[in-house]
């Protein structure tokens, strides 16, 4: 079925839908991973975005119920060069097309993803519209320009859980608010396991798996949970998750984080480091085309070691804006020298911009979860 992708700057790309009729829109971005498309599809940090994969053949190993990073597909649309309709993998339970169709997500192929990626690299990530129904280029471009800009958009509130839950046996177990009030009585292993409250701004399941593998008892709470509630829970540590959109309008989280700094050891990842940077008085800015893939080189300034990392973000903390805040810069991106990590020794705060839990991606930075546990224990 013929389809057309239109960008807000007037560039259009003919393509074909492999999921049937439909139309959708969002910010168009690219991911350079060669595998892991199911994890990409279900990463809440992609809410409001259409993702194009730079690797040309997608769908060749199908999908399965184990490789998800949230309860549903999060991307607004999926753009690939060549869709493989006949997957071959012993873990596959369905085709990619079936998976997308079941959740009403438009997937297109026969798209010149190389040209699209080069265009985004030169012009920047931008709003886009794709449709099987509106094939007039001028009309499709107008539809793209009517979409909301990513700047100033709080998407974290749209993907955050509404109900707190425990992470048990590789899955969420939701609390009954009527019987389990949010106080220190909620912990099931006091004295046996260190406890961590994880703010959900769009948290990935493998983050929760990684925390759980450290022997931590994890409680996930909505992103808007107040600092007073966290104090009533009295956890041993606090985790700030990844998430989509612009960090600046997430003011409720910034205010709560500012109150909690110094209360317990904190680890922030992706959106978490951006919110921490703002809480310390820093500034954030939108990257031209973002960092999305599993091959981003990051240098740990403490050791001089270079790690190959998994990343997915379109905003970053301005390094210069943190001058005088008391934080020490610990990691930088070797491609563009943007901030990738900082810590505050006195406040026991550690934050990184990349994804140590990977999924997909390398495990070079997985030690950060161990470091977080050690900081909690020593505190």
Q: Active site includes 291?
A: no
Indicate which residue of 39, 307, 340, 357 is catalytic.
357
Q: Give the number of residues written for the chain.
A: 379
Inter-residue contact 44 to 127 (CB < 8 Å) = no
Taking the C-alpha atoms of residue 82 and residue 239, their distance in angstroms, rounded to an integer, is 39
User: Could you tell me the two tokens for 122?
Assistant: 């030169």
Alpha helices in the chain, H assignment, sequence order: 37-41, 96-102, 113-123, 137-145, 156-159, 205-213, 227-233, 251-260, 271-279, 367-378
Inter-residue contact 190 to 217 (CB < 8 Å) = no
C-alpha pair distances (Å), 60 with each of 56, 92, 262: 11, 10, 48
Alpha helices in 163-306, H assignment, sequence order: 205-213, 227-233, 251-260, 271-279
C-alpha pair distances (Å), 253 with each of 134, 147, 158, 208, 296: 39, 26, 14, 20, 28
Q: Active site includes 355?
A: yes
Indicate which residue of 248, 270, 291, 307 is catalytic.
270
Pairing of strands 2-7, 12-17: antiparallel
Q: Give me the residues paired with residue 167 across strands.
A: 172
Taking the C-alpha atoms of residue 353 and residue 342, their distance in angstroms, rounded to an integer, is 9
Would you say the C-alpha torsion 197, 202, 205, 211 has a positive or negative sign? negative
Inter-residue contact 364 to 205 (CB < 8 Å) = no
Inter-residue contact 200 to 150 (CB < 8 Å) = no
**Residue that the structure tokens 């900081």 belong to:** 375
Taking the C-alpha atoms of residue 36 and residue 51, their distance in angstroms, rounded to an integer, is 13
Q: Active site includes 357?
A: yes
Calculated CA dihedral for residues 240, 203, 66, 176, nearest 10 degrees? 100
User: Could you tell me the two tokens for 231?
Assistant: 């104090």
The residues annotated as belonging to the active site are: 270, 355, 357
């Amino acid at each position: 079925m013929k389809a057309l992708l239109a960008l807000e700057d007037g560039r259009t790309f003919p393509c074909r839908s492999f999921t049937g009729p439909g139309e959708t829109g969002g910010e168009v971005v690219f991911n350079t991973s060669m595998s892991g498309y199911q994890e990409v599809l279900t990463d809440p940090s992609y809410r409001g975005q259409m993702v194009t994969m730079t690797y040309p053949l997608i769908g060749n190993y199908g999908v399965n119920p184990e490789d998800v990073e949230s309860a549903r597909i999060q991307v607004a649309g999926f753009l690939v060069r060549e869709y493989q309709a006949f997957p071959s993998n012993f873990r596959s339970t369905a085709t990619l097309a079936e998976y997308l169709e079941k959740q009403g997500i438009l997937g297109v192929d026969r798209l010149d993803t190389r040209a699209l990626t080069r265009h985004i690299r030169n012009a920047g990530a931008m709003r886009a519209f794709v449709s099987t129904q509106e094939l007039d280029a001028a009309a499709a471009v107008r539809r793209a320009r009517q979409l909301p800009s990513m700047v100033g958009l709080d998407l974290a509130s749209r993907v955050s859980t509404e109900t707190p839950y425990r992470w048990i046996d590789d899955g969420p177990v939701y609390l009954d608010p009527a019987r389990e009030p949010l106080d220190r009585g909620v912990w099931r292993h006091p004295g046996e396991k260190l406890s961590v409250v994880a703010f959900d701004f769009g948290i990935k399941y493998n983050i929760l798996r990684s925390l759980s593998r450290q022997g931590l008892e994890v409680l996930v709470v909505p992103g808007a949970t107040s600092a007073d509630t966290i104090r009533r829970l009295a956890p041993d540590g606090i985790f700030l998750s990844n998430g989509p959109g612009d960090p600046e309008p997430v003011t409720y989280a910034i205010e709560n984080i500012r109150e909690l700094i110094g209360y317990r050891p904190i680890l922030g990842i992706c959106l978490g480091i951006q919110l921490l940077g703002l809480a310390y008085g820093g500034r954030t800015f939108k990257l031209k085309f973002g960092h999305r893939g599993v091959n981003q080189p990051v240098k740990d300034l403490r050791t001089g070691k270079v790690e190959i990392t998994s990343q997915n973000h379109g905003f970053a903390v301005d390094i210069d804006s943190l001058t005088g805040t008391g934080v020490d810069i610990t990691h930088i991106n070797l491609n563009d020298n943007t901030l990738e990590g900082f810590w505050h020794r006195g406040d026991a705060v550690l934050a990184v911009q990349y994804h140590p839990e990977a999924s997909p991606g390398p495990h070079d930075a997985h030690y950060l979860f161990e470091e977080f546990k050690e900081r909690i224990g020593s505190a």
